[in-house]
Amino acid sequence: MPVGLGEQESDALMGGYYIRTYEDKDYEAARAIFSEGIRAFAPVGVRHLLSHPQTHLLLLGVFLLAYVATGSVLFSLGAVSALVALGCNRAKAIWFDYVQDALLGDMLDIRSSYLEQKDCSFWVVVDHSQEVVGTVAITYPEEPSLQGRALELKRLSVGKGHRGRGLAKALTQTVLCFAQERGYKEVVLGTSMVQQAAQLLYESMGFRKVQVLSPSLLCKLLHFYVYIYSYEIPKSQ
């Protein structure tokens, strides 16, 4: 088990940062950090779509079909450009729709969603000036088979200017210790295929990739996948 912070708040993380339980005064900052962190991946998702070999084949096929039908190179290029624009817009929308759903869902009332629920919580990282620079939450998993044995890590995000300082790892450790102290056997989470830094972090801490999902048919067409990770909590000695 990684050295963690458990239920107690940390008094002194690296570089003057520390983790504490969410307070109502953190509301706007927590929502902003989450939103900015997720939306920053929209361009990455677009690049992933455009670099995918299946995308290249689809665009070539559209060009050839349009050319055979019209005999016009200009029209065929226009058809390809229109398809690229549509695909890019939809790829961006995946991220923005996810943020909007969260802001109108569990992040609309953070206290009710996490702090007033048994075995759930929400933490923030603050710096020396008391500015909120990171967040993480733990809640019940949606998968019925995991109910009672696992908790789910959610809303892990660190502000752009504060990354690379071990804050995401410390937040993850906090979640793992919280789950262990309450007798749970597993912590699960989902992250997208383009969030490579997050994947490396989780794998370095002992999480295993256990499933690959595509949230919808549109996501599958856009080559957007979610990786499900699981961490098995060691039995107490």
Split at pLDDT 50, 70, 90, the class of 5 is very low
pLDDT in tens, 83-112: 899 888 988 888 899 999 999 999 999 999
Residue 5 located in a structural domain? no
pLDDT in tens, 138-170: 999 988 888 889 999 999 999 998 988 899 999
Distance in angstroms (rounded) separating the CA atoms of residues 111 and 67 = 58
Domain that holds residue 47: 42-101
Q: How far are the Cα atoms of 77, 160, 211 from residue 222, in angstroms, in the given order?
A: 20, 27, 19
Distance in angstroms (rounded) separating the CA atoms of residues 47 and 34 = 22
Split at pLDDT 50, 70, 90, the class of 3 is very low
Q: Please tell me whether residues 128 and 222 are part of one structural domain.
A: yes
How far from chain centre, in Å, is Cα 86? 24
Q: Please tell me whether residues 23 and 50 are part of one structural domain.
A: no
Q: Please tell me whether residues 113 and 88 are part of one structural domain.
A: no
Q: How many domains is the chain partitioned into structurally?
A: 2
Q: Please tell me whether residues 227 and 179 are part of one structural domain.
A: yes
Q: Is the pLDDT of residue 13 over 70?
A: no
